[in-house]
């Protein structure tokens, strides 16, 4: 999530995005179960790049998926 708007609202948005991705993956791939995946929203606290241009803000509106064996 970029840093536009209220930090609390950005955190809420980030949490919702993360949870939706988890639901999508579980519903799309039957071999993925609740115990294999978790959602974490970081809001505006972990930008990949500075939030100083529209392009950078787009890059910070992202999800990351980490797969464990």
Question: Does pLDDT of 69 surpass 70?
Answer: no
Tell me what the pLDDT averaged over the chain comes to. 91
Residue pLDDT, tens place only, 3-30: 898 999 999 999 999 999 999 999 999 9
Q: Find where tokens 């992202």 sit.
A: 62
Contact of 61 with 47, CB cutoff 8 Å: no
31: which 2 tokens?
């071999």
Q: Residue 40: CB partners within 8 Å, gap ≥ 6?
A: 18
Q: Where are the alpha helices (DSSP H) in 1-69?
A: 7-28, 54-60
Question: Does pLDDT of 53 surpass 90?
Answer: yes
Entry pTM: 0.82
First to last CA, the chain: 28
């Amino acid at each position: 999530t970029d840093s536009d708007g209220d930090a609390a609202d950005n955190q809420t948005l980030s949490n919702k995005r993360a949870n939706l991705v988890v639901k999508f993956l579980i519903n799309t791939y039957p071999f993925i179960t609740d115990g294999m995946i978790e959602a974490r929203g970081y809001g505006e606290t972990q930008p990949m790049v500075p939030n100083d241009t529209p392009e950078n803000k787009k890059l910070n509106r992202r999800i990351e998926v980490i797969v464990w064996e």
